[in-house]
Structures are given as C-alpha cells and as structure tokens.
Amino acid sequence: MKTAALALALFTSTPALAAPPELTWKVLQLGVLPVVHVSVTGEDLFSERPETARLRATAARWHKGLEQVLEGRDQVKVSVLAELKARLKRSGDFVRTAELADERYAMGLERWRSLNAAEALTQLDRARQLHLEAYTDLLDPRTLADVDLHRALTLIDLDQKGQAHLAFAQMLIRDPARRFERGYYGAPIETAMVTARREISEAPDPIALLWPTERLLSLGRRLSLDVFAVGVITGEGASAAITIAFFDVRVGGFALRERFPLSDEAYLGDDLDRLVSAWHTCALEAPRTFVRPRGASRWFVEFGYTHFAWMQHRRTRDILHGPAFQLGVTYEPTPGLEVWAKTSQRVTLTDGKGDLLDVFTTSHIGLGVGLTVGDDVWRFSVRSGLEVALSLAGIAMTTDVDCKFFGPGSDRCRSIFRAESPAVWLGLDFSMSVRVAPTRSWHIGLTAGATSYALSELIVGELNFPLYGTFGFGLPF
C-alpha cells in the first residue's frame, strides 16, 4: 500500500512535458486551366464534324469535374478559370498593356492591307508580345489566335514559309475550334493550315504545346499559385483519350500526369478522384521549420563595445566622451519580461581644449528589469534599473588658464572642480535594446541608453547624464 502511494505521489509531482508546437501545413494555391480538345483531322478547319463537337463537350465536362474534385480537398485553395481571369485583370498594368497590344494589331492589319508586309510583321510581332505580357492566351485566346493568323499570312507574303507554318500552329493551339470558309485563302494556305493541324494532333506531348514550362512558371508567379491542373483530349472514336497533369510551380515541372481512355465515361468520377488523391498525397507541404518548445526561462550573455558621452559637463567647454567594454547577462523568467545585469569599465578621455586635466576611469554595475516583444529571431526591449559607479581616480576639471599653466595647487588657480577618489555614484539607468539572432547559437545586440546620477549630489552638479550606445555579440545558455 505504501509503495502504491509513493508511486502515485511521484507520478502526480512530475512536471508535465511541454506539448509540441502545433504544426500548420501550407495551404496550396491551385489554378485549374481549361481542358482543351485537339482535333485529329485538318478537315475540321472547314466544317465541324459531330465527333469533334462531342469531344469538345466532353472536354468541358472533364474541366468542371476536375474543379469539383479538387475543391473538396483539404489544404488546397482552388482558383477556377473565372477567378484566374479576374485576378489577371487586376494584376500589373493589364489595361494599358492590352490597349497597346490592340493598337499594334490594328496598325499591323493596316500595313498588311496596304501590302507593306515587312512593316506589318513588325507591328504584329509587337502585338503578340504585348498580348503575352497581358496573358491574353488565358484571358482571350481567340484574340491571340487572330494575331497569329495574320502573322502567318504576312510571313507567307514575305516567303518565310517555315515561320508561317509555326504561326499557323500557334493559332490552332490557342483556338482549336476555329473554322474557315473553304477556298477563301487559296490552296497553298489551306494546305499549310491542314499540315499544322495534323502535326499538332501527332505531337507526343500536346500539353507542352499548349502550356510550355516557362509560361506556366510566369503565370504562377503573377498569380501567386503553387500548382496548375491542366488537361487535353486527343484522338477520336475508340482511341480518344484525355491526359490530366499537375504542374508544380515550386519545383518548375510536372509532378504527375495520367492518360484515361474515353471509351467509357461512366468512370469519370472514380478516375478523377483516384488521380487527385494520388497527387494530393504527395503535394502537401509540411512546415520546413520545426521549432523546439521554449522552456520556462532563458539566459543570455553578451559581450560588447560601448561608447559614451557626458551631456552635462559644466567645467569643460567640450563634450567628454570615451570607450568602454561591457559584459551583460539577461534572464527571461517569462515571455515579455526580462531581468538584466551588466558591468562595464569606462575610460573618460580628455577634451579637445584640455579642460579635463587628466583621463579618469570608472567601473559601472547595473541591475534592472525590462519589457520585451518579439520572438527567437528578433526582440525589442525597454529597460530601466539602478546603476552604481565606482571612481578609482580623482577628477579635476577647469577652464582657468592659470590652473592649467601653474598647476592645480598654485595660489593663482582659483576655479577648479575636484572629485576625490575613491567615490561611489548612484544613478538611474534607462535604455532600449534590440537583439537579432541569425541562428539559434548566437545573436547581435544593439543598445542605446542614458544614466542620471540623481542620487549623488557632488557629481550631479558638474558632471552627469552620460548617453551611451553598445554593440555586442551574445550567446544563449
């Protein structure tokens, strides 16, 4: 019975272990880009087939389903397409950039219709650059496709067929649903368009054509997003499939991609949920800094250089100042409160006019309390306390020329201040301190303060109110 009682007493008297700090996982900012259908045949450029219309509707359903599945995930803030567009219009100098792009495009059309192909290309290239700066490829891709179409036509006029082929491809990437009246542009141009369409559909990675890495990184920085969800539908009939991918801006690459056949859309919800779960498991970002719980008390020791100046010096015509070495100890019994002690050895130097007859040394010991704010990286303190100064040498000050020339003991010396040693001065110390800790093992300290020797009558009248500043390095222990 006694053993059980002893065990119970030991258990109840043991201090409770400090609870670990609560760790907050980062909320991922995710943007959903539109799911796009890439047509297989170039014949869709001139008349849309029912299969093409069906797959475009399928792309819209997958896009909506992707948004809904992602919005249900913890620690993920989803920005749908409409929200992304609204944020882009509010960011940067969007309105001015878009207006300049439209002006350049209008000037390019005017030059092209005037058969000035070289000048037209200059204006159209600038219009395309401005549209990309305004992120028109997301806000209004048809407008950017119009620019690429006329760039392609202008390049054909300049007999730059390779560049024209690339411009046609860029047009069809941005606006895959675009249709033309057969025979309107002539056989050579129609052939170039059909060839560009076929090469896009045969590309091994159509997502990279739609959204190059550099473009996604730029868009992510502009919108402060961590991840993009993108999708593209390729093929038709039994070979039709959708590819969903997640681009991680934090690592600058695609984190996950998967291809699903569209032969049976009944599993759309299950497929999306499985894919998003796989991505979500690996994408969440835990806190990178784990802070050790702070104890009930903390001690700091600090070594520093102090420079001081006597603001009251009635027997001299210039400010007296000097260097000092300081050692300080701080104890924090609870957050927001500190108890401090310091000691310093100060040397007061003679002034420029020689009114202080000799250098003198004083030893200072201070003790007080302070109020603090901050954390383990930085801390600001307001302090007050008592100081005791011990003068180990006599002090003599005068502005009398006879005292300086004939000596303080001469009968001619009639005005001189003396403070004999040893002497003890009592004062009040007030200061402000900033501590910055680049690492957990050491810190930098800056202190500015003043002392008033209001408790020592002899010294108060002639020499008082030293201001001081201290720069030091400290260690916790």
For residue 335, being part of any structural domain is answered with: yes
234 and 366: one domain? no
Kindly state whether residue 274 falls inside one of the protein's structural domains: yes
Per-residue pLDDT at 19: 45
Same domain, 231 and 329: no
Residue 6's pLDDT is 40
The Cα-based distances of 305 to 179, 203, 311, 475 in angstroms read: 79, 69, 20, 16
Domain check: are 277 and 312 in the same one? Answer: no
Tally the domains of the chain. Answer: 2
Instruction: Give the pLDDT score at 108.
Output: 93
Convert the pLDDT of each residue in 341-359 to its tens digit.
Answer: 999 999 999 988 888 888 9
User: Are both 422 and 471 inside the same structural domain?
Assistant: yes
Specify whether 235 is located in the same domain as 336.
Answer: no
Q: Which residue segment(s) compose the domain that 355 sits in?
A: 298-476
Residues 213 and 164 in one domain: yes
442 and 339 both lie in a single domain: yes
120 within domain boundaries: yes
Of 283, 314, 339, the residue at which a domain comes to its end is: 283
Do the domain assignments include residue 412?
Answer: yes
pLDDT for position 266: 67
In a domain, 292, yes or no: no
Shared-domain flag, residues 196 and 134: yes
Instruction: Determine, yes or no, domain membership for 279.
Output: yes
- Asked, for residue 384, whether it belongs to a domain, the answer is yes
Q: Give the pLDDT confidence score for residue 158 in this predicted structure.
A: 92
230 with 379, same domain: the answer is: no
Same domain (yes/no): 265, 305:
no
Residue 26 lies in a domain: no
Indicate whether 93 and 239 sit together in one domain.
Answer: yes
Residue 403 belongs to domain with CATH number: 2.40.160.20
The per-residue pLDDT string of the chain (477 residues; one tens digit each, 9 = 90 and over) reads 444 444 444 334 444 444 444 556 678 899 999 998 887 676 678 877 888 888 888 888 888 888 888 888 888 899 888 898 888 888 777 888 888 999 999 999 999 999 999 999 999 999 999 999 888 888 888 999 999 999 999 999 999 988 998 898 889 888 888 888 888 888 888 888 888 888 887 777 888 888 889 999 999 998 889 999 999 988 888 888 888 999 999 888 888 888 888 876 666 778 888 888 888 888 776 555 544 555 545 899 999 999 999 998 888 888 999 999 999 999 998 888 999 999 999 999 998 888 888 899 999 999 999 999 988 888 999 999 999 999 888 888 888 888 888 877 788 888 888 888 888 889 999 999 999 998 888 999 999 999 999 878 777 778 899 999 999 999 988
234 and 369 in a single domain? The answer is no
